[in-house]
Structures are given as C-alpha cells and as structure tokens.
Amino acid sequence: MGRIATGLAVALFAAGLGPVAQAASIETIAKQAILVDVTSNTVLFEKNADQRMPPSSMSKIVTMYMVFEGIKEGRLSLDSTLPVSERAWRMQGSKMFVELHNNIKVDDLIKGVIVQSGNDACIVLAEGLAGSEPSFAERMNKRAKELGLKDSNLTNATGWPDPSHYMTARDISIVAERLIRDFPEYYHYYSIREFKYHGITQGNRNPLLYRGMNVDGMKTGHTDAGGYGLTASGEREGRRLVLVVNGLPSMQARADESARLIEWGFREFASYALFKAGETIEQVPVWLGAQDTVPATVPEDMKVTMARADRAGMKVSLVSSAPVAAPVKKGDVIGKVVISAPGFPGKEVPVIAAQDVEKLGFVGRALAAAKFLVFGAS
C-alpha cells in the first residue's frame, strides 16, 4: 500500500460494488428495549433504552454479579453455607422456599436465584456478603457505577417494587454483558432449566431456553408497574447478542416478542473481521526518525457488525496526521481506522504504533532538514 499523505485518509479497502440497502426496520410493543451485539459492542436496535424503569427481577443480574465477584475474590465458595434469617424466610414473591435458621450451600442459593428467581435466596446471599440487605444495596450501587451503569439506583437485592429502585434497559445490557465476560466459569447457571429444592421442582422462567434458538440466559422480571420483562442472551456463529425488553403486557408477549427480536438480530446483521491485533495495516511516515516509517496496527482484534445488506458498500480508511514526529513509542496512538457504509452509523477505532522509532541525532536531523529543503516531502 502507498504511504499516507499528511492529513489525508487512505482507503484500505472497499467491500465491493452493487446495490446498497439498509436492514429492514423493526418495531416492538415493548415499552423499553435494547439489542446489542456484544462481540463488536454494537447496538442493533433500541427503544427508550435510557428511560428509567422498574427492572423487577432483572436487577438480580447485578446481585449475581456481586456474588460471583465475591466467589472470585475468595470471600465465598460454592461449598460455603449461609444461614437463613427470619427476614429472608418471610420474604414474599418468587421463592426458593429456604428453611428458617437452616444453613444452605452457596451453590444451591445461586440456582435458587437464577433458576427459581428466589427472593429469599437473594436475601440470604446479600446478608452473607454484606451483613444486611441495605448494606448490600449500597455495595451494588457503588459497583454499578464502576461498571459504567449511568442511570440506575438499587435499593434491594431482589428487584422488589420500590419507586427508588430503577434501572434503564441500557444499564441492564451493560451489566449482563459484563457478567458473561467477567465470569464465564459461572455463566452456565443461567442455562439450567429446572432446580429442585425442599422437595419442590421449579423450572427456569426464561421462555427462550426452551425454543431451540441458541439462547443460554439470562433473567425474567415482572411487576405491576413495569410489566413483563426479559434479559436474554444467545450465541450463534461466533456472535453473542444481549436483549433487554420491558413493559410487555403478558408472559406470552414477552416470549414471542423476545424471540422475534433476537432472531431478527441474528438474521439481518453479521460481524465482519477486519484486522487482528498486532497485524500491520499500513506503514505510517515518521518525521526525523531513525526509520522512515512505523508500522500501524490495532490494539485488539477489530470486528464490525452491520446489516448484511450494507456490507457491499462498506469502506475502511486509515486516517493519520502523517508524518508522525519522532520519537515514537510502541502503543502511541498515531491515527484511526474509520469504517463507513450507507445505512451504517460509522465506527472509528484508534490505530497505534507497533514498535518504537527513535529520533535521529543532530547530524541526521540536519541532513533530513536539508533534504526536505531541496527535495520537499517524499
């Protein structure tokens, strides 16, 4: 490839020619919704995704993030046992049916929360980790902010109705994606279809686990104020999608609408691998360097997700204010890759130097300056 002229973009490749069309639009009866391709961190669809809403039991995803983090940090183990307080035993709503003053294994409590949506199990875990549910909620809020949740406030571990207990669909999608990514060794709990405890067998409330569509989690929710909701995730052909919907009118609508949106996301969109981390994508000129150029690369594997119909019009360009002044350190940002296509909102990814380039000594700089005066830029 040729060198980059100062301040100009160089097309690395164009994806092809032919008719270009946007992905078919989609509507939903959900009051709030977001569908994210987490493999490439691309929002495929959203509706009122930043609107505060009662998250109901979907906020138990944050509870479980805290539990898995506690296990990873050694403050709990799957074989640990935790006592059942009277407060946990008396808790209403969905229940695991824990026994008063009994000591229950953390492994069973996790299944009780994820499979049976047990509010009682949530409180046992919260009290075991923080001493009380209010203290646990304080820790949840602190951790939520650290994870990048921008508009959530959690007052309990269960999602029990409370005007001050709210999240956004976007925030739920963020914590769901973080749980999957940060705790892959525990994510399998979300695909368990039934769990028997205290002589009572209960099935997982996630309707998409039973539809043969590669969905392997995560959590349903329902309150009178928020309606029926679901956070779902599935993987197909190397792509993982996370869907959050809320405000649906019935359990059947929740199942059907969620399935329709996820299938649309897999059908209408695809991820395309562009560059691998460390791969040289262009030689960028260096001014007054011991080398004339420095190889440019991306810090991590670069993928882009777009509508399959937009693929034909995709263009990828490297933009850099070349030449880059020496010295250059490995990892310095020296430009950006810009991806564009009709119907695609665009994406930019930083480009970094793949190696060091030292600055020329005094004599070398003098010769380079003289060469520039005589011949101009090359």
80 part of the active site = no
Q: Which residues pair with 159 in a beta bridge?
A: none
**For residues 265 and 259, what is the distance between their CA atoms, to the nearest angstrom?**
10
Find the helix packing angle between 133-146 and 119-130, rounded to 10°. Answer: 80
Instruction: Please report the beta strands in 15-73, taking only residues with DSSP state E, as ranges in sequence order.
Output: 32-37, 42-47
Find the helix packing angle between 60-72 and 106-114, rounded to 10°. Answer: 160
- What residues contact residue 188 under an 8 Å CB cut-off, 6+ apart? none
The answer to whether the beta carbons of residues 311 and 330 sit under 8 Å apart is: no
Catalytic entry in 31, 56, 59, 60: 60
Catalytic entry in 31, 40, 47, 57: 57
**For residues 314 and 17, what is the distance between their CA atoms, to the nearest angstrom?**
9
Catalytic entry in 117, 173, 258, 320: 117
The answer to whether the beta carbons of residues 189 and 108 sit under 8 Å apart is: no
Task: At 175, list the tokens.
Answer: 């914590």
Phi, psi values for residue 376, rounded to 5° = 80, -175
219 part of the active site = no
57 part of the active site = yes
Beta strands 282-287 and 324-325: pairing type?
Answer: parallel
Does 249 sit behind a cis peptide bond, omega within 30 degrees of 0 on the bond before it?
A: no
Enzyme catalytic residues: 57, 60, 117
